[in-house]
Amino acid sequence: MSITPPDYFESIRQAAERRWIQLEGDEDLAGPWHQLFKQVQSPRHVLSELLQNADDAGATKASAKVHEGVFEFTHNGEDFQADHFASLCRFGYSNKRSLHTIGFRGIGFKSTFSLGPVVTIQTPSLHVFFNKARFTLPCWTNSSSGSGSETLVSVKIQDGHREDELGKNLSEWRQSPVSLLFFRNLRELTLNDDHLAWLPLEAGPVPDSQWYSLNGSAKDGRVPWSGVKPEVCDLIAAL
């Protein structure tokens, strides 16, 4: 079932289009934008950026997979609101809340263009895609496929080299699952067919910490973690 654009969509789209008309008419103004955009283009950073954005959106679980040359990332965080979507359609801007950006804001989302020239986002309220040539200009799609209650980011990978680099990034996360504990909310991550979940156990060895078990099994790993004191996190991460 197709959905209609939310009330705020068209005004944000028009504002983004006006900025691109201005940029395309002034090379001196457009130059810094394109240079900064190129600096965030790395397939090895895509998953890390999307995970951070999902965590900022309050997601507790996420998944990433590559199927028939298409990269798909989903999370169960909050949907976009008008100001959140507006910040997505700008560059070098973040909508701040408690010193954290709110899902797909700022430049993090732009790293997905390192995989391919068209990036699609589907949420319960939005079905849009962005083209690399005008990477902040949203285009509405009448696709009938939906993402249910989750957010879905998808991009057709441009070539084998990019797919290999992305694969290395997924492998790094699979080999270092303790990295998930650095997030505020995210505790579950599915990478293709591999499921990683940090499950809370009892209170930890220092104040405001807790023992976590990977996939509910002691043999998969058991670590103490604190979500309150950064200095404590640094200490026990070294254990």
185 in a structural domain: no
Domain co-membership, 19 together with 78: yes
Report the pLDDT value the prediction gives residue 98, as an integer from 0 to 100.
41
The residues, any chain, with a CB within 8 Å of residue 85's CB and separated by 6 or more, are 8, 9, 12, 126, 138
183 in a structural domain: no
Q: What is the mean pLDDT of each run of 10 residues along the chain (239 residues)?
A: 88 94 83 70 86 92 96 95 88 49 56 94 94 92 72 96 93 89 92 90 79 70 49 42
Q: Which of 102, 129, 105 is nearest to 116 (CA)?
A: 129
- Tally the domains of the chain: 2
Structural domain span for residue 219:
194-237
Domain co-membership, 20 together with 91: yes
132 in a structural domain: yes
CATH number at residue 33: 3.30.565.10
Domain co-membership, 51 together with 18: yes
Find out whether 40 and 110 touch, Cβ atoms under 8 Å: yes
Domain co-membership, 230 together with 125: no
Domain co-membership, 219 together with 158: no
27 in a structural domain: yes
129 in a structural domain: yes
- pTM score: 0.83
